[in-house]
Amino acid sequence: MTTTTSELQTGAGWDGPYFRVLAEGFEALFLPSPDEVLDEVCNVDVEVHLPDGSRWSATIFTLAEVDRLMRKWEGTGEAAGGRCSWCSDGLIVRDPGIQGMAGVIAKLLASGEFDGAFHRLSAPE
């Protein structure tokens, strides 16, 4: 079942450079490039705020984006000549788009898998 915009979001919109998604149980601040189409985002940093005040981060990639990067790295020699892909706190999703990525966050929170996929940030000083 696909989560629709109305089921997931109580509010969403631009807040400076961030696309902020307010959903039941979390707030996500995505950092897409300013010219990206939100339904086509395939590589994005996100910070998630939970009701307990904790903050979490990850970089979300689609499968297609990982493949594109690995093919690029074959030519540049990066990442063992394109034979691997890694990043700290990387999360791979099947489909592009901020909406779908927010849906994945919701499902990870509901299943209890969220803290395995995201990195907890220290509290602001």
Q: pLDDT tens for residues 41-62? A: 999 999 999 999 999 999 999 9
Residue 29 lies in a domain: yes
Instruction: Please give the pLDDT value at position 62.
Output: 96
Which band of pLDDT confidence, cut at 50, 70 and 90, is reported for residue 66? Answer: very high
Residue 74 lies in a domain: no
Residue 25 lies in a domain: yes
Cβ(103)–Cβ(37) below 8 Å: no
Residue 41 lies in a domain: yes
Residue 62 lies in a domain: no
Query: What is the domain range of residue 43?
Result: 5-57+93-121
What is the tally of structural domains in the chain? 1
What is the pLDDT averaged over residues 80-97? 93
Tell me the C-alpha distance between 29 and 18, whole Å. 6
pLDDT exceeds 50 at position 4: no
